Structure 1
Amino acid sequence: MKSYQIAAFTGTLILSSAVLAESGGDITFARMMEARDVAMERYAAREVHRENEPMVASDAKDKDEAADKE
């Protein structure tokens, strides 16, 4: 009877750890994919914004360079 209880306890621990590990990994993976999707959306929005910016040097930069030359 004692060996049966030990075997049942061991089996329960193994089964429960496998179930918890699987569901924990699924949750972690889902969070990771959600964070990745959000990051990709932000990146795409930033790239669209950069494409619309004019490629002209700022006046402030030109003034700083002129002051450095003096």
Structure 2
Amino acid sequence: MGIQKIDEDLCNGCGICVDSCPMDVIRMNDSTCQAYLAFPGDCTTCYLCELDCPVEAISVSPEATRRMILPY
């Protein structure tokens, strides 16, 4: 569901994905300066991280179900 992977070989550690994620799913590893999925279950599949990544290191699953809160 949501983010399938962050390619460590492509990630340049810019942190744009961290700033663009409204759910705070992505964090930066201080020792490697690489982005990682801290809370993958919280991903709402908004694609902002994938769209904003300048090196295309993030893959979001198009089949993922977006969690929504709907009124009864």
The answer to whether the superposition gives a TM-score over 0.5 is no
Higher RCO (C-alpha under 8 Å, 6+ residues apart): 2
**Structure with greater proportional strand content:** 2
Query: Please, what TM-score do these two structures have when normalized by structure 2?
Result: 0.17
More helix by percentage? 1
Larger of the two Rg values belongs to structure: 1
**Superposition TM-score, scaled by structure 1 size:** 0.18
